[in-house]
Structure 1
Amino acid sequence: MYAVYIYPESLFPSSIPSNTIFGALCSAFSELGFDVDGLLSCYPDNPPFLMSSGIPCEKRDNGSVVHFFPMPKIPSAKIPDESNFDAFKKFKKVRFLHEDIFLKLSKGELKSAGIMNFEKEYCIKSSGILIPKGDDFHREQLAADVPHNQINRMSSESEQFFYSEGCFYKEGSGFCILVDLIDDSWKDKINAGFSFLKDRGIGKEISVGGGSFEIEFGEYTLPEVETEYLTSISRYLPEDIEQFNGGIWYDPVTIHGRSTDGFMKKQVIMLKEGSVFRNTGKKYYGSVAMVRENPPVVEYGMAFTVPWGGI
């Protein structure tokens, strides 16, 4: 699995979901003269590549990188009874799992019931990250409010004062974006796209110097096992939720906003990272939604699936 590592160097978003990354890449591809329309026409049936959301990661002093994957949704039937309710209330704060825990759950070597009463073997760190006790954890991101002042271009008067949110990251703290290169010919283009974004930035604050980052490329191995269920580490826009016959658990997220020219895009509801659904044997899950006709604008909603044996 191809891996792109982003280490923020200025004010940066607190998260970078897959649809944001894909949109930024398409913008970079357009600037670089690549065939974006041809790329988009391949989805959802014949995608040249699939992308995860930004997975929090931490580079250790020895050069190794530790990854923290989205916490998969636990079916309500697996939630403990009242005797373990207090432990479960604490466990609900978990948003990410240390890769050692996640990979064991993925392969079915560990079940979610085995980590919900977590305080003997695990602990929760900043940003809701569950790690094994004794792990040398140093990842840190500090929230920051950025002041903005809206100026009337005609009168030069201030009309609105407001804040947006971002984060500053400790050195070595960043994100890993996994890329399933179905068509290897896109590797160099993806490298060029991220190199372009490195200079331009990513996120809402690029106009004021935010969103800059250092970049590294590498590899990562995910389990390849047959499981009854899958989890998505990207945002997911199901083409038909009825296909799972009730075997799906998720939290919804609403995607909306304006184009750069101020035009309001069509609203889309996706499933958050960590959604769990029945493995129906399909090769690809998800879709790409058209949220504006002219010029065409899309929201990327392909699932980046990982086997899930932890139920």
Structure 2
Amino acid sequence: GKKIKFYPKIIFPQKSKDLEEKYHPKDFKEYKKVKFIEENLFFDLLKGKLSESDILRNYNQYTFIKGLLMRESYNIDVNFGENIIPNNSVNRITNETEGIFYTSGNEFKNMGLFFLVEFMDEDYKPIVKAAIKFLKDRGFGRDISTGKGQFDYFIDEEYSLNHYEGNYFVTLSRFIPNSDDLAHINEFASYEIDSKRGKSSSNEIRKQIRFFKEGSVFPDYKKYYGRNVSSGKVNPAIEYGFAFPLKCSLEEDK
């Protein structure tokens, strides 16, 4: 059937306090819970055809479900989030149950995930395709030995993003800035900071990595932003931190 893509909620320069004072508290409280915005809404915001104030002014015309904001109401039951699963701990010598422990995982209902890749060199396409196929055969994430992390996929090579003009950009990915990036951040940038501390298969706790969240807005002055960061000594890993920038002309609040 029809597939609807959602993009990260844009973090506008407009102060939340100003919006909260201007619009209905119930609408604003619900809007703050939005994590992803339907594709057509996202690009209207990106091109400056729509603002947050426009959305809040007519909020009853939009649909909000499980952190998703959309223009239409679709007759389908969707859900996503973390689930907690109980597991039995078994003594491998006596084969007796010794207790219960819990593991967490992500669950999706009538939904899936997608990601975008921009190829600067077409020679990398077969490498990426082979890597995705390998992950499908092997499983992705934790507990793959017990059958978790299985998935199906398809590649839409016809889908492409339009490039707009603007003095700012929205990042679709986590963004770990380098010193040059930090020097260009001005008072008009709008962002949220998050962090990640990973753990290896040998239970090594890797160093904490801070990054700008998806949807953050920054001045546009070059083509590539960000850097990769090495993390871990026993089982080294790389935290990917290059921005996926889309130029934008954000509508001023009215």
Shift of 1:65: 2.1
Q: Among residues 230, 242, 249, which one is paired with 1:290 in the alignment?
A: 230
In the TM superposition, 1:230-249 aligns within 5 A as 230-240=169-179, 241-249=182-190
Mean CA deviation greater in 220-229 or 147-156 = 147-156
Question: Structure 1 residues 132 and 276 mapped into 2: Cα distance closer, same or farther (>3 Å)?
Answer: same
- The one-letter amino acid of 2:101's match is F
SS of match in other structure, 1:302: coil
Equivalent position of 1:144 in the other structure: 83
Relative CO higher for 1 or 2, CA cutoff 8 Å, sep ≥ 6? Answer: 1
Q: Among residues 235, 247, 251, which one is paired with 2:192 in the alignment?
A: 251
- The one-letter amino acid of 2:21's match is E
CA distance in structure 2 between the partners assigned to 1:310 and 1:160 by the alignment: 55
Give structure 1 stretches of 5+ with no counterpart. 1-60
Shift of 1:291: 1.0
Equivalent position of 2:40 in the other structure: 100
- Given the alignment of the two structures, is residue 196 of structure 1 paired with residue 134 of structure 2, yes or no? yes
Q: What TM-score do you get using the length of structure 2 for normalisation?
A: 0.85
Equivalent position of 2:123 in the other structure: 185
The structure with more radius of gyration:
2
User: Which protein has the bigger strand share?
Assistant: 1
In the TM superposition, 1:108-187 aligns within 5 A as 108-126=48-66, 128-135=67-74, 138-141=77-80, 143-149=82-88, 161-171=100-110, 173-187=111-125
Shift of 1:249: 2.2
- The one-letter amino acid of 1:141's match is F
Give structure 2 stretches of 5+ with no counterpart. none
- The one-letter amino acid of 1:203's match is G
Q: What TM-score do you get using the length of structure 1 for normalisation?
A: 0.70
Contact 1:244–1:277 (CA<8 Å) still a contact in 2? Answer: yes
CA distance in structure 1 between the partners assigned to 2:73 and 2:235 by the alignment: 53
Identity of aligned residues (%): 32
Contact 2:164–2:246 (CA<8 Å) still a contact in 1? Answer: no
Q: Among residues 207, 213, 222, which one is paired with 2:145 in the alignment?
A: 207
Mean CA deviation greater in 226-235 or 176-185 = 226-235
CA distance in structure 1 between the partners assigned to 2:146 and 2:58 by the alignment: 42
Shift of 1:153: 7.5
CA distance in structure 1 between the partners assigned to 2:52 and 2:216 by the alignment: 14
SS of match in other structure, 1:73: coil
RMSD, aligned CA: 2.6
- The one-letter amino acid of 1:96's match is F
